[in-house]
Structure 1
Amino acid sequence: MVYGEVMQDKVGAAPAGGENLLFLTDDQLRRGIEAMFFAYRAFTADPDMILTELDYGRAHHRAIHFINREPGLTVTALLDVLGVTKQSLNRVLRTLIEDGLVESRIGRRDRRERQLYLTEKGALLERRLSEAQRARMRAAYRAAGPQAVAGFRQVLEAMMDQETLRQYHALREMPE
Structure 2
Amino acid sequence: MTPRKIPQSNLYLREEELRRGIELLYFAYRDFTRDPDEILAKSRFGRAHHRVLYFVGRSPGITVSGLLSILRITKQSLSRVLGELVEQGFVRQETGTEDRRQRLLYLTDKGEAFERQLFASQRDRVARAYKIAGPEAVAGFWEVLLNIVDDDERDAVLKHIEK
**1:84 to 2:73 alignment:** yes
When the two structures are superposed, what TM-score results if normalisation uses the length of structure 1?
0.86
When the two structures are superposed, what TM-score results if normalisation uses the length of structure 2?
0.93
Residue 100 of structure 1: aligned partner:
89
Gaps of 5+ in 2: none
Tell me, yes or no, if the aligned pair for 1:81 and 1:167 is still in contact at 8 Å: no
Cα distance in 1 for residues equivalent to 2:40 and 2:56: 17
Cα distance in 2 for residues equivalent to 1:41 and 1:94: 27
Structure 1's consecutive aligned runs of 4 or more residues displaced over 6 angstroms after TM superposition are none
Q: Deviations over 1:63-101 (max 9, x none)?
A: 000000011000010000000000000000000000000
Identity across the alignment (%): 48
1:148 is displaced (CA, Å) by 0.2
1:55 is displaced (CA, Å) by 0.8
**1:38 to 2:27 alignment:** yes
**1:147 to 2:148 alignment:** no
Q: Which has the higher contact order (CA 8 A, sep 6+)?
A: 2
Residue 112 of structure 2: aligned partner:
123
1:23 is displaced (CA, Å) by 5.8
Gaps of 5+ in 1: 1-15
Cα distance in 2 for residues equivalent to 1:141 and 1:89: 32
Question: Which has the larger helix fraction?
Answer: 2
Cα distance in 2 for residues equivalent to 1:158 and 1:120: 36
Tell me, yes or no, if the aligned pair for 2:12 and 2:18 is still in contact at 8 Å: no
1:25 is displaced (CA, Å) by 1.9
